[in-house]
Amino acid sequence: MRVRDFLILSFLVIGLINFTFIGAYIVLVQYGSVTLNPGEKYAINIPFFGESKSPVIYGKAQTTTGEVLPGINVSVYYYNNDTLIGKGTTNSKGEYSISLPEITTSKKYDISIEYNNQTNTGGIIKLASNDYSLDFDDNRRYSKSIDDFVFLTGKITNEDAEIENGRVEIKVGYLDPLKNNSVSYRYGDYQKFYGININPKEEYEVTKEFGISWKIPTNSTPVGKYKILIKTSFNAKEKSTGVYFNITA
């Protein structure tokens, strides 16, 4: 008789699951959350530790050694809502595709996965991590008479899930000294950048050649300190951070 074990994890703290499984049973895990824009195509790769038999990639469940996992159920719910709006199962190639209802504005979703912890060959599998860390360069200096752009640079250190066409969004604010250095986001909404591709266990260098940038509006830009608010979304793992920079005359 199979026992259904429900592991409901907070999206912000989901990480590597280090449980030892005895026998085979079904595991249900809330894998993460994602905010989607109308018509956006978004990849969620699902990594596993352990044995399996099959090959590799997009919207795919696989082990960290590259062997794919068929039969993984992926469910999509509205964020913080138990209404199921889409479900798919990985095929013999470990791939899945889920079509969601049409939207006209950004919307956030919860992603859950369900899997048998024992493969057909008897190997035990454990869910690996879709986490990553951000380390962007801080307190850089730019001159509005010389520089045309402010570039976001630094590194992203990935854990176990292959990041494919990852999304980075930035918004720039000015620390107004007349308002106790409160941040005024006067330069429009978030700019979106796509195309971050990172292998498992890779430390990815974000250079200015990648083009995550803000064009300095020279005529109206006051000198002083600014903040870049950064949002990343890779494999249903969303994070926010910020870095500062200075503009001189």
Give the pair of three-digit tokens for residue 20: 């030892």
Domain ranges of the chain: 4-127, 132-248
CA distance 76 to 87: 6
- The pLDDT of residue 173 is 93
Residue 231 has pLDDT above 90, yes or no: yes
How confident is the prediction for the chain on average, in pLDDT? 80
CA distance 74 to 103: 20
The pLDDT tens digits of the residues spanning 122-153 come to 667 788 999 999 999 999 999 988 999 999 99
The burial class, CB within 10 Å (0-12 / 13-18 / 19+), for 94 is: buried
- The pLDDT of residue 108 is 84
Q: Identify which of 41-55, 109-123, 173-187, 221-235 has the greatest average pLDDT.
A: 221-235
Residue 219 has pLDDT above 80, yes or no: no
- The pLDDT of residue 93 is 87
Single pTM value for the model: 0.73
Give the pair of three-digit tokens for residue 78: 């509205």
The pLDDT tens digits of the residues spanning 72-127 come to 898 888 899 988 988 889 999 888 888 777 777 888 888 888 887 755 556 677 88
Is it true that domain 132-248 has CATH number 2.60.40.10?
yes
Residue 171 has pLDDT above 90, yes or no: yes
- The pLDDT of residue 24 is 52
